[in-house]
Amino acid sequence: MPVNVSSAPGGSLAEAFTKEHHEIDVAIEKYMASTHDDPESRAKMLLEAVSALRRHIYLEEEVVFRHLPRATLMMPLMVMHREHGELWRRMDALEESLQGGSTDEQLVADCQELLSLLENHNSKEEPIIYPQMDAALSVLEQQQVAHLLAGGALPEGWICQDA
Ligand SMILES: [Fe+2]
Ligand SMILES: [Fe+2]
């Protein structure tokens, strides 16, 4: 679920990344609420949310974080990387559960756990990391990231630093 930055003129990168947080949350919540729908399309919906989250983490770690001031953000960035690792492992487990035919109850519980991890992560990332992002990247760099956010794909086989 790529964010179309060009549709929000004047929107900052922080706003675009925050918007993607919400879109991913909504997609997972939608999956949890749609227990009466066709299982195949539900599974597809969840897998799309998972791959959007993986790509979001990729853009943060490979593109955005490296521009941020290490001196002041070393600790928060360490925490962000560690939590990305937890999210990554949780997504691996969720994909396995989907393929392994876990019960709906189990999958919904797994989603709930993923959502709590996300809430904990995003509630720090949005106020601590994202405001620095708009300040630290040049206009050109911001345009490049916006371009990736709008359509870039996760490179095959990429995993996050602390996965
Ligand atoms: Fe994020
Ligand atoms: Fe993050």
Range 96-114 burial, b when 16+ CB lie within 10 A, else e: ebbeeebeeeebeebbeeb
pLDDT tens digits along 146-163:
888 888 888 899 999 999
Ligand nearest the Cα atom of residue 21 = 1
Asked if 86 and 116 count as a contact pair (C-beta separation under 8 A), the reply is: no
CA of 84 to the centre of ligand 2 (A): 6
CA of 117 to the centre of ligand 2 (A): 11
CA of 4 to the centre of ligand 1 (A): 16
Ligand nearest the Cα atom of residue 61 = 2
pLDDT at 9 over 50: no
pLDDT of residue 10: 54
CA of 123 to the centre of ligand 1 (A): 10
Count of CB atoms situated within 10 Å of the CB of 45: 16
d(CA 72, CA 79): 13
pTM of this prediction? Answer: 0.90
pLDDT tens digits along 60-116:
999 899 999 988 999 999 999 999 999 999 999 999 999 887 888 899 999 999 999
Q: Identify the CATH homologous superfamily for domain 9-150.
A: nmb1532 protein domain like (1.20.120.520)
pLDDT tens digits along 121-144:
999 999 999 999 888 888 888 888
pLDDT of residue 26: 97
